[in-house]
Amino acid sequence: MPADLKDSIVKAVAAATNEVFSTMLVMEATPGEAYCEKVPQVSDGVVAFIGLAGKWTGTGMISCSPALACRLASQFLMTDYQPGSEAVNEEVLDAVAELANIIIGNAKNLLEEELGPMGMSIPTVIFGRNFTARSAGQGEWVVTPFQCEAERLEVRMHLAPARDPMPLRHGYQPPECVELR
Amino acid sequence: MPLDILIVDDSAAIRKILQRVLRQADVDVGQVYEAGDGLEALETLKKHKVHLVLADVNMPNMNGMQLLAEIKSDAELASVPVIMVTTEGSQSKVMEAAQLGAAGYIRKPFSADQIKDKISSLF
């Protein structure tokens, strides 16, 4: 992955995460050092991911422990979800999915200035243990870790140019270029 | 007169947050209805008269822009203000919503004050 694209992703993810935490969670998330990985190293906890498609295509993902998922949901919904696997109920999973939607969506909005328009899928959320995640393609994932209270939240993003970009909307015709004199 | 409001979002979390914000707003809120997508919203609007719709954009079955177009093309519903509350922040989406007749466009993440101020400005 080109270094400037990695930097753009890290900056966009940090800005989006910071805005969501300060506006809707009233919590601090301190970014750590970002890094790249070939395969997402996520095997436990709560994971929410969203597909991105346009001239660039890929996936955005957030992951955290069940305890942090409960804490984030408690702040987001102003309801007390006690940490523990039993407490990771549908409401907690829905809250994490929506947080992923807002974080990845806002990062996408910032990246669109550089990469062009991208559409977003509806988020999918998984909670479990000992799972393995894979993504088709050869690209790298940019991982931005955040320290949130005593826990760790990771935001991953994988983007690559689309081989055959899909039209954003059925029947959409791009405007013709007009030379201005 | 209390305002009856329809919240349309596929996220139950966002519907819950908006319910809470509406109850704290400086407007008299009556009945609050919820729908998980545009189709469900249209069904609700056939059964109940509302004074305001808050709608997400990215939703399954029928998205928020399609819902907005349906509302504005229906003579009985066209006067109901629709505020888009969405993660989609591109200028093209904002312009599309304005052209379709949205009364406002609030980007997620939102603060409670943004929602309250926008509603107060309409009523």
pLDDT digits (tens, 9 = 90+) for A26-65: 999 999 999 999 988 888 899 999 999 999 999 999 999 9
A78 part of contact set with chain B, CB < 8 Å:
yes
Cβ proximity of B31 and B4 under 8 Å: yes
Domain presence at residue A180: no
Q: Phi and psi (nearest 5°) for A50?
A: -140, 135
Domain presence at residue A59: yes
Tell me the C-alpha distance between A48 and A147, whole Å. 18
Domain presence at residue A131: yes
**Whole-model pTM?**
0.89
Listed in sequence order, the residues at least 6 apart from A116 whose beta carbon sits closer than 8 Å to its beta carbon are A54, A55, A56
Domain encompassing residue A29: 3-161
CATH number, domain with residue A132: 3.40.1550.10
Number of folded domains that form chain A? 1
**Which residues of B are less than 8 Å from A19 in CB distance?**
109
**Which residues of B are less than 8 Å from A17 in CB distance?**
none
ipTM of the complex: 0.89
A77 vs B16: CB contact, 8 Å cut-off? yes
Domain presence at residue A66: yes
**Residue B46 falls in which region: left (phi positive, over 0), alpha (psi -120 to 50) or beta:** alpha
Tell me the C-alpha distance between B25 and B22, whole Å. 5
Domain presence at residue A174: no
Domain presence at residue A45: yes
Domain presence at residue A169: no
pLDDT over threshold 50, residue B30: yes
Q: Which of residues 82-111 of B touch A (CB under 8 A)?
A: 87-90, 92, 108-111
Domain presence at residue A176: no
Tell me the C-alpha distance between A23 and B111, whole Å. 6
